[in-house]
Amino acid sequence: MLKSAQTTVANKIIERDEEGFLLYTEDWSEELAHQLACEEGMELQGERLEIVRYVRDYFETRESVPEARTLLKHMKQIWGEERATRKYLYRLFPRGYGQQACKIAGMRKPRKLMLDV
């Protein structure tokens, strides 16, 4: 069995799996998101923060994680076609949308990585 980890944010213990994904999505906060981004070696600001907020809002209203193509459509609407590409998304999240953006947005680890298809 794989080990889980814990993180403390605002005096609250947050349970995480062995890869750092939250075990309980309701534990997410923007403060935690900044901490998770820091662990990933990135600052959470600008477009990265907008993507994380979009993923989080999408999850909270639909109870599912948006696939990458859904996110790309959203990016096209707000930033234009030249920045609505997988290449640009990987520039923002070099380890992948599912592995970084969704983790920072407080999602559980996806069973299938349809997020990066």
pTM recorded for the entire structure: 0.87
How much is the pLDDT for 111?
Answer: 66
How much is the pLDDT for 11?
Answer: 84
The structure tokens 């990933």 sit at: 40
- Domain boundaries defined on the chain: 5-116
Residues of the chain with pLDDT under 50: 1-2, 114, 117
The CATH number of domain 5-116 is 1.10.10.370 = yes
Q: Rounded to an integer, what distance in angstroms lies between the CA atom of residue 57 and that of residue 9?
A: 21
Q: Which DSSP helix (H) or strand (E) runs through 48?
A: helix 46-62
Q: Which residues pair with 16 in a beta bridge?
A: 5, 22
What are the start-end ranges of the E strands in the chain? 5-9, 12-16
